[in-house]
């Protein structure tokens, strides 16, 4: 995606009489809108009865937008089938784990393994393509919408059959499947694939291997449907990029696998402005999405201008916050920032979700913010060719997330996203940017690799991580890493499996700490910090113990261990260190120490640097409600205010600065 930063939103003109469309387009032009997503939920409008089509309205809308120079991200309508489809073909409706069938009347009520659904989804996409694929306004294909969002798992008979076929391909024989799932336990041995079921309602824990494979299979089933739609779109117009909108840290889908199939990666971000961690979580979300396909452009497909309507209490973004959060995305590399939705609906379940054009039209302060930002972004073409160069990587995989959070563990409240935020938070505060990497990715370009609870790791991937350190890298590995292989089968001996060389001590057992309990950790210089949640029961190994547990039942045991491995080193964290403890570890690695001016400015300042061949662009965003002053010795040219800076920059609450510097020297 090149050229202007894309700006706009979901446009649902079918909800409005056509008289409103002219005003829509006039306002879009006024607000600098250059890309709108059309048709996401239009199946019932496009095909009101089976094989009866109505495309005239879509032609008209595309013409109007095209004539105004507004690009279209044209969606396939398959995320919300029309009522006639499930009324005629009941197996289109998904089934939950208890065997109850969903009904139509909402959205996302489809079973992705239903042949009836698949055939009709293909047909409507083919029809869409034959009607409008050559329209000049179309800039991007938006396949479906938020795959898996409301019904990530279906347990119907179609799924049972497809699951068995998937297992047969994966294991070849039922004996292999029995071995992988450990079915000697609880008399679960299968005699043939036909006996295997999706993990439907059971009296207690389902076999963890079955559960894990069902997650893998369900991900693949959605992906297969996506491939069918993409094939139709690409055949018609191979020149138009394809996207589908993700939801950041959405557990059911392995977005690494998806992103490599996309031309543009896009995401929807609805961070809760009432959450004190929202800006950190949102930064982490964007770092993830940017990293999913490191060779593709990415953008924000949806965010809300003000508030959502689906939480219990829907706090708004405060004035200026929508702009600050939009720049947060641009800072982290986004090629576009779009909203849900253009005009607030009058009816339907989302009529109180805010929109770029509110119920009160341009009288709402939201309009001034939306139009102001659109015009401002229009002038930022100078960011062209720049990207984010992270020096720190965080290892993350969906298979690990699925296995880590499966039930019946020492700590069933151990959450992947908690572990990620625990290790990410200090970096956000220090102005250091992070790339997320799959465990099998090449890590050589990173100075430090963070490994939060990589519970599931294959022998091969573990060896790659070890070799990264041997060749001079630095790793910080947290507790509960290297516990099982890809089948969820435990590596015997002290825990760590293929990661043992990075652990430096012998983790002979694990001990989650009682809720609310804090233990002390004593460092070599006698300083004490705290830890909570977890303590490994470890004995000394080949590494150097930097800190020990100093209180509670595990006093004296290693808490932080440094292992020298080849040319590099690894730090192992045997408990969940508090902020002060983690800071001590991060201070040991220059790439983790961040930008001192950001530390000094006070909390709430986000810093990200985009780099191009000639320039650096330092984004400074003040998410706090107080003015923050940063000392920026190297000066530079501030793009938003259009002025040369001295040695300091003062940021009002929610304000943003983008400081451009020549790569050869200070500001130009
Ligand atoms: C997204 C969805 C949109 C809209 C929005 C509301 O999940 O893609 O269609 O429902 O949420 O926040």
Q: Pick from 152, 248, 252, 340 the residue to mutate for probing ligand 1's pocket: most ligand atoms within 8 Å of its CB.
A: 340
Classified as helix, coil or strand, 86 is helix
The residue whose CA is least distant from atom 4 of ligand 1 is 340
Catalytic residue selected from 47, 146, 229, 369: 146
pTM of the complete model: 0.98
Residue 106 lies in a domain: no
Residue 478 sits in the same domain as residue 582: yes
Percentage of residues in the chain having pLDDT higher than 90:
95
152-166, 379-393, 467-481, range with the lowest pLDDT: 379-393
Cβ count within 10 A of residue 125: 23
Does residue 583 sit in the same domain as residue 628?
no
- CB-based contact 355:343 (threshold 8 Å): yes
At 112, give phi and psi (nearest 5°). Answer: -70, -15
438 occurs within a structural domain: yes
339 CA → ligand 1 middle, Å = 10
Query: pLDDT of 474-496, one tens digit each?
Result: 999 999 999 999 999 999 999 99
Q: Where are the alpha helices (DSSP H) in 555-645?
A: 579-586, 596-601
CA distance 606 to 283: 9
359 part of a folded domain: yes
292 and 183 share a domain? no
Length of the chain: 668
Q: What is the pLDDT of residues 14-35, one digit of tens each?
A: 999 999 999 999 999 999 999 9
For residue 395, pLDDT beyond 80:
yes
Decide which of 342, 377, 412 is a domain's last residue: 377
Separation of 288 CA from ligand 1 center, angstroms?
Answer: 20
Where a domain ends, among 327, 353, 377? 377
Phi-psi region of 320 (alpha: psi -120 to 50; beta: other; left: phi over 0): left
Nearest residue CA, atom 9 of ligand 1?
A: 340
| Residue 600 neighbours by CB distance under 10 Å | 12
Q: Output the CA 348–ligand 1 centroid distance in Å.
A: 13
Residue 14 is given by DSSP the state G
- So what's the pLDDT on residue 668? 46
For ligand 1, the distance from its centroid to the CA atom of residue 109, given in whole angstroms, is 15
- Please report whether residue 140 resides in a domain: no
Give the ligand 1 atom nearest the CA of 40.
9
Ligand 1 mean position to 316 CA, how many Å? 16
CB burial class (10 A; 0-12, 13-18, 19+) of residue 287? buried
Three-state SS annotation for 340-364:
CCCECCCCCCCCCCCCCEECCECCC
Do both 573 and 612 map to the same domain?
no
Q: Confirm whether 221 is domain-assigned.
A: no
* Residue 261: predicted pLDDT: 98
Q: Is it the case that residue 531 has pLDDT exceeding 90?
A: yes
Tell how far the Cα of 210 is from the centroid of ligand 1, in angstroms. 31
Q: What is the dihedral of CA 618, 622, 627, 628, to 10 degrees?
A: -50
Residue 358 counted as domain residue = yes
The catalytic residue among 225, 302, 606, 618 is 302
430 and 547 inside one domain: yes
Verify that 407 and 551 share a domain, yes or no: yes
Average pLDDT, whole number, for the chain?
96
Residue of the CA atom closest to atom 3 of ligand 1? 340
If residue 36 lies in a helix (H) or strand (E), which one and from where to where? strand 35-38
Rounded to the nearest angstrom, the distance between the alpha carbon of 24 and the centre of ligand 1 is: 20
Are 415 and 409 in contact by the 8 Å Cβ rule? The answer is: no
Residue 94, CA distances (Å) to 41, 153, 161, 434, 601 in order:
19, 8, 14, 38, 52
Task: Please report, for the domain that includes residue 467, its CATH number.
Answer: 3.40.50.880
For ligand 1, what atom is nearest to the CA of residue 146? Answer: 8
> Do 606 and 560 lie in a common domain?
no
Q: Which residue's CA is the closest to the ligand 1 atom numbered 12?
A: 308
Best CA proximity match to 229, nearest among 139, 135, 147: 147
Ligand 1 pocket: which of 14, 37, 75, 146 to mutate (most atoms within 8 A of CB): 146
Annotated active-site residue 515? The verdict is: no
Which ligand 1 atom minimizes the distance to the CA of 309? 12
Q: Tell me the pLDDT band of 435, cut-offs 50, 70 and 90.
A: very high
Q: How many CB atoms lie within 10 A of CB 429?
A: 19
Each residue's pLDDT tens digit, 601-631: 889 999 999 999 999 999 999 999 999 999 9
527/522 Cα distance (integer angstroms): 6
Domain with residue 21: its CATH number is 3.20.20.80
**For range 643-655, the mean pLDDT:** 95
Provide the domain count of the chain. Answer: 4
Q: How far apart are CA 103 and CA 572, in angstroms?
A: 50
> Comparing C-alpha atoms, which of 35, 108, 641 is closest to residue 297?
35
281 and 341 fall within a common domain? yes
Instruction: Evaluate if residue 245 carries a pLDDT over 50.
Output: yes
CATH number for the domain that contains residue 626: 2.60.40.1180
* The pLDDT of residue 377: 96
Is residue 119 situated within a structural domain?
no
Residue at 305 is within a domain: yes
pLDDT score recorded for residue 665: 55
Summarised one tens digit per residue, pLDDT across range 402-419 is 999 999 999 999 999 999
Distance 36 CA to ligand 1 centre (A): 15
pLDDT at 84 over 60: yes
List the domain range (segments joined by +) for residue 199.
158-209
* Protein residue with least CA distance to atom 11, ligand 1: 340
Mean pLDDT over 382-400 rounds to 93
* Candidate from 37, 147, 350, 352 with most ligand 1 atoms within 8 A of CB, to mutate: 350
What does each C-alpha distance from 351 to 103, 345, 348, 358 come to in angstroms?
Answer: 22, 5, 6, 10
Confidence bin at 184 (pLDDT 50/70/90): very high
Residue 310 CA to ligand 1 center (angstroms) comes to 10
**Nearest C-alpha to atom 10 of ligand 1 is from which residue?**
350
556 C-alpha to center of ligand 1: Å?
A: 51
Pocket of ligand 1 (CB under 6 A): 145-146, 149, 268, 270, 302, 308, 340, 350, 353
Q: Which residues contact 157 (CB under 8 A, 6 or more apart)?
A: none
DSSP per-residue string spanning 428-443: HHHT--EEEE-TTS--
**Co-location of 477 and 619 in the same domain:** no
Q: Report the 10 Å Cβ neighbour count for 566.
A: 14
Which atom from ligand 1 is nearest to the alpha carbon of 41?
9
On the question of pLDDT at 399 being above 60, the answer is: yes
Q: Which residues face 619 on adjacent strands?
A: 608, 658
pLDDT category at 193 given cuts 50, 70, 90 is: very high
Nearest Cα residue to atom 5 of ligand 1: 340
583 and 635: one domain?
Answer: no
Q: Ligand 1: which atom is nearest the Cα of residue 270?
A: 12
Query: Cα separation of 544 and 562, whole Å?
Result: 5
Q: Tell me the three state secondary structure of residue 316.
A: coil
* CA atoms in the 13 A half-sphere facing the CB of 99: 3
- Ligand 1 centroid to Cα of residue 38, in Å, is 14
pLDDT over 70 for what percent of the chain? 99
| Residues facing 395 on adjacent strands | 437
- Residue 490 shares a structural domain with residue 403: yes
Question: How does residue 308 score in pLDDT terms, banded at 50, 70 and 90?
Answer: very high
In whole angstroms, give the CA distance from residue 638 to residue 601.
18
Pair 431, 533 in one domain = yes
Given ligand 1 and candidates 107, 268, 342, which is best to mutate, with the most ligand atoms within 8 Å of its CB?
268
> What is the mean predicted confidence (pLDDT) over 578-594?
94
**Cα(230)–Cα(238) distance, rounded to whole angstroms?**
10
Lowest-pLDDT range of 286-295, 448-457, 591-600: 591-600
506 pLDDT above the threshold of 50: yes
194 pLDDT more than 60:
yes
**Cis peptide leading into 635, omega within 30 of 0?**
no
Ligand 1 mean position to 340 CA, how many Å?
7
pLDDT at 383: 85
Domain boundary among 331, 348, 377: 377
Retrieve residue 618's tokens: 């330092």
Which atom of ligand 1 is closest in space to residue 310's alpha carbon?
Answer: 12
131 catalytic? Reply is no
Please state the rounded mean pLDDT for residues 301-310: 98
Number of Cβ within a 10 Å radius of residue 330:
25
Tokens of 164: 């068995």
Q: Residue 667 pLDDT > 70, yes or no? A: no
């Amino acid at each position: 995606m090149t050229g202007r930063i894309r700006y706009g939103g979901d446009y649902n003109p079918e909800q409005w009489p056509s008289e409103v469309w002219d005003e829509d387009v006039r306002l879009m032009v006024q607000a600098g809108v250059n890309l709108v997503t059309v048709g996401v939920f239009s199946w019932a409008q496009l095909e009101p009865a089976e094989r009866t089509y109505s495309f005239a309205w879509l032609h008209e809308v595309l013409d109007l937008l095209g004539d105004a120079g507004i690009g279209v991200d044209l969606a396939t309508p398959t995320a919300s089938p029309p009522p006639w489809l499930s009324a005629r073909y009941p197996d289109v409706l998904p089934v939950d784990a208890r065997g109850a069938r969903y009904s139509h009347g909402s959205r996302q009520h489809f079973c992705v393994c239903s042949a009836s659904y698949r055939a009709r989804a293909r047909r409507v996409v083919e029809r869409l393509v034959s009607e409008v694929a050559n329209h000049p306004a179309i800039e991007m294909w938006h396949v479906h919408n938020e795959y898996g969002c409301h019904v990530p798992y279906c347990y119907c008979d179609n799924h049972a059959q497809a699951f068995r076929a998937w297992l047969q391909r994966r294991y070849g024989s039922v004996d292999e499947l029995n071995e992988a799932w450990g079915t000697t336990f609880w008399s679960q041995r299968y005699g043939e694939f036909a006996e295997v079921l999706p993990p439907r309602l059971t009296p207690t824990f389902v076999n963890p291997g079955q559960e894990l494979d069902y997650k893998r299979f369900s991900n693949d089933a959605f992906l297969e449907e996506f491939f069918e739609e993409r094939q139709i779109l690409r055949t018609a117009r191979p020149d138009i990029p394809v996207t589908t909108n993700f939801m950041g840290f959405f557990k059911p889908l392995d977005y690494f696998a998806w992103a490599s199939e996309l031309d543009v990666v896009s995401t929807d971000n609805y961070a809760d402005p009432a959450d004190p961690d929202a800006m950190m979580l949102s930064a982490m979300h964007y770092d993830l999405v940017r990293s999913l396909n490191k060779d593709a452009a990415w953008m924000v497909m949806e965010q809300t201008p003000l508030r959502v309507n689906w939480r219990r209490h829907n706090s708004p973004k405060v004035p200026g916050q929508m702009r600050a959060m939009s720049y947060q995305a641009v800072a982290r590399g986004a090629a576009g920032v779009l909203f849900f939705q253009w005009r607030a609906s009058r009816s339907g379940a989302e009529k109180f979700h805010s929109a770029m054009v509110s119920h009160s039209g341009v009288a709402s302060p939201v309009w001034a913010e939306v139009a102001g930002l659109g015009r401002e972004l229009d002038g930022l073409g100078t960011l062209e060719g720049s990207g984010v160069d992270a020096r720190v990587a965080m290892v993350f995989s969906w298979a690990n997330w699925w296995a880590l959070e499966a039930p019946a563990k020492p700590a069933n409240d151990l959450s992947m996203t908690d572990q990620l935020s625990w290790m990410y938070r200090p970096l956000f505060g220090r102005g250091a940017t992070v790339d997320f990497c799959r465990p099998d990715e090449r890590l050589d370009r990173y100075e430090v690799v963070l490994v939060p609870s990589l519970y599931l790791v294959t022998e091969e991937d573990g060896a790659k991580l070890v070799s990264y350190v041997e060749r001079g890298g630095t790793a910080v590995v947290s507790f509960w890493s290297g516990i099982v292989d890809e089948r969820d089968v435990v590596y015997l001996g002290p825990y760590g499996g293929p990661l043992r060389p990075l652990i430096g001590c012998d983790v002979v057992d694990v001990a989650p700490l009682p809720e609310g309990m804090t233990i002390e950790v004593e460092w070599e210089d006698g300083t004490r910090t705290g830890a909570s949640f977890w303590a490994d029961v470890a004995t000394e190994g080949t590494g150097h113990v930097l800190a020990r547990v100093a209180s509670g039942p595990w006093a004296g045991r290693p808490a932080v261990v440094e292992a020298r491995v080849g040319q590099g080193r690894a730090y192992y964290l045997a408990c969940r260190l508090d902020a002060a403890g983690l800071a001590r570890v991060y201070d040991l690695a220059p790439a983790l120490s961040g930008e001192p001016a950001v530390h000094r400015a006070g909390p709430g300042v986000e810093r990200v640097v985009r780099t191009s061949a000639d320039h650096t662009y330092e984004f400074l965003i003040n998410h706090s409600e107080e003015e923050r002053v940063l000392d920026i010795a190297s000066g530079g040219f501030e793009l938003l205010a259009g002025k040369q800076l001295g040695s300091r920059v003062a940021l009002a609450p929610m304000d943003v600065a983008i400081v451009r510097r020549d790569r050869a020297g200070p500001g130009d």
